[in-house]
C-alpha cells in the first residue's frame, strides 16, 4: 500500500485497505506523519491489531486492551490503569511479539521493577503485577495465546496490609483542641471521624446531601483526582451509595457551617485538596503531641470507636458502604479480639442469672 509525502504540508500519509471485524472491506487513510518510517509503522501496527493474531507486538495488544477498558470502566480507574501500564509495563514489553513472551521475561521484569521501586509498598507492586496479568488474560481470552505467563510466576509484592493506624476518642479530642472551630477543616475532620466516610466522599458533599429533618447524610458522589485535577464521579462501588444516620451535634455543626458560609444547595462544602487536609493533620498532630495519621485512617478510627462501643460488624459494614460483612471482618477482624473476654463474661452472667443461680 502507498506511503506518500504531502509536499504542501511537508508530512507523510498512508492509505490502505483492511477488513474489519464484520468482514467488511474498508479504506483507511492517516495523515500528518513526520517521517516515512512513522507512516509505515502506523500501517503495520494497524493491520496487526485488525488481524488480531497472537504474533502481534505487545504494544499493539495494549492499545486494543485499553480501548476495550475505556468503554467498560470508570474514567478514573482507566486513567490509573493506563498510567501504570505506561510507566511500568510498556517500556519492558512493547516490542516483543505477544507469543514470544515467556515466564522468564516476566521474572526479569519483576526483578527490574522491584529493584527500581524498592521504596514502593508491597501492595503497590502487587497491583502492578495484577495489571500485567490482566493484559495477558485478555490476550488469552480473545487472541489465542495458550497461557498467561504471569500466572506461571510467583506474584510480585503482597496484599498484606500495613499496620493499621487510628486515633482513640481521647487523641481526637486533643487534636480538635488545637483547632479554630470556625476553620472549615474543623468540620471536615469531625465529619471524617464521626461518620467514617472516605476522603472523596467528604470532598463531594453538598448541602443537598443532608436531610436535617431525618438527621441523615446521603452519599451519592465521590471526588477523585486525575493528574491533580478533581473529578466528580459516582461512589467507589454500588454499595458505597448509602444513607448514614447522623448524631444531632454533627447535624447542628453542618447546619451552622452552611448558614455562616452561605453555601447554596449545589455548592461543595469544602474546596481544598487532599494534600491540604494531610498537611494540617500533621501540623495539628504535632501541636497536640499525638501521632499523625493519614486521611483514610479517620475511617479506621471511626470503626475502632464503633467496635469499642459494641456495635455489630453488620451495622458497621452498612455504615461504611461495604458490600458485605465479610469485607468488614477481613479488614477489621484484628480489632475484635479484645472483645472476646467481655463476650465470655457476658455469657457467664447469662448462665448464672438464668440457668444456674449458684455462685461460682
Note the pLDDT tens digit of each residue in 71-97.
Answer: 888 888 888 899 999 999 999 999 998
Least confident of 131-135, 266-270, 271-275, 334-338: 334-338
CATH of domain 54-160: 1.10.150.130
Q: Place 357 in a pLDDT band, splitting at 50, 70 and 90.
A: low
Distance of CA 226 to the CA centre of its chain: 12
pLDDT of residue 28: 81
The H or E element spanning position 221 is: none
Coarse DSSP helix, strand, coil percentages of the chain, rounded to the nearest 5 percent: 55, 10, 30
Strand partners, 217: 210, 244
CA distance 150 to 135: 10
Biggest CA–CA distance in the chain, Å, is 105
Residues 285, 297 contacting (CB under 8 angstroms):
no
CATH of domain 169-199+249-340: 1.10.443.10
Q: Is the pLDDT of residue 161 over 60?
A: no
Residues with Cβ within 8 Å of 14's Cβ and at least 6 positions away in sequence, in order, are 1, 2, 3, 4, 28, 29, 30, 33, 39, 40, 42, 43
pLDDT of residue 23: 59
Average model confidence (pLDDT) across the chain: 88
| Over residues 218-239, mean pLDDT | 87
Angle ∠(119,124,127) on CA atoms, nearest 5: 150
Q: pTM (2 decimals)?
A: 0.68
Q: Place 49 in a pLDDT band, splitting at 50, 70 and 90.
A: low
pLDDT of residue 149: 95
Amino acid at each position: 500500500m502507498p506511503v506518500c509525502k504531502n509536499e504542501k504540508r511537508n508530512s507523510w500519509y498512508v492509505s490502505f485497505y483492511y477488513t474489519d471485524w464484520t468482514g467488511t472491506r474498508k479504506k483507511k487513510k492517516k495523515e500528518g506523519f513526520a517521517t516515512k518510517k512513522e507512516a509505515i509503522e502506523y500501517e503495520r501496527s494497524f493491520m496487526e491489531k485488525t488481524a488480531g493474531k497472537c504474533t502481534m507486538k505487545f504494544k499493539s495488544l495494549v492499545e486494543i486492551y485499553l480501548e476495550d477498558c475505556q468503554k467498560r470502566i470508570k474514567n478514573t480507574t482507566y486513567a490509573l490503569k493506563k498510567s501504570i501500564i505506561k510507566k511500568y509495563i510498556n517500556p519492558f514489553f512493547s516490542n516483543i511479539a505477544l507469543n514470544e513472551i515467556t515466564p522468564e521475561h516476566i521474572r526479569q521484569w519483576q526483578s527490574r521493577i522491584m529493584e527500581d521501586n524498592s521504596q514502593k509498598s508491597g501492595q503497590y507492586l502487587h497491583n502492578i503485577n495484577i495489571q500485567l496479568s490482566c493484559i495477558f488474560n485478555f490476550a488469552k481470552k480473545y487472541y489465542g495465546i495458550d497461557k498467561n505467563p504471569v500466572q506461571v510466576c510467583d506474584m510480585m509484592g503482597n496484599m498484606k496490609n500495613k499496620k493499621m493506624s487510628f486515633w482513640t476518642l481521647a487523641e481526637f479530642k486533643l487534636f480538635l483542641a488545637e483547632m479554630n472551630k470556625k476553620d472549615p477543616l474543623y468540620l471536615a475532620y469531625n465529619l471524617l471521624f464521626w461518620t467514617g466516610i472516605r476522603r472523596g466522599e467528604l470532598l463531594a458533599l453538598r448541602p443537598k446531601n443532608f436531610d436535617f429533618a431525618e438527621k441523615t447524610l446521603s452519599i451519592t458522589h465521590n471526588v477523585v483526582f486525575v493528574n491533580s485535577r478533581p473529578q466528580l464521579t459516582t461512589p467507589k462501588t454500588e454499595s458505597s451509595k448509602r444513607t448514614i444516620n447522623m448524631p444531632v451535634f454533627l447535624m447542628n455543626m453542618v447546619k451552622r457551617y452552611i448558614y455562616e458560609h452561605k453555601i447554596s444547595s449545589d455548592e461543595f462544602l469544602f474546596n481544598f485538596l487532599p494534600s491540604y487536609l494531610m498537611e494540617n493533620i500533621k501540623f495539628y498532630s504535632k501541636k497536640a503531641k499525638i501521632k499523625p495519621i493519614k486521611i483514610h485512617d479517620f475511617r479506621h478510627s471511626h470503626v475502632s470507636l464503633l467496635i469499642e462501643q459494641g456495635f455489630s460488624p453488620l451495622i458497621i459494614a452498612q455504615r461504611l458502604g461495604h458490600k458485605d460483612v465479610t469485607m468488614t471482618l477481613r479488614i477489621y477482624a484484628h480489632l475484635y479480639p479484645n472483645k472476646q473476654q467481655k463476650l465470655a463474661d457476658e455469657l457467664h452472667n447469662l448462665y448464672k442469672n438464668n440457668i444456674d443461680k449458684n455462685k461460682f
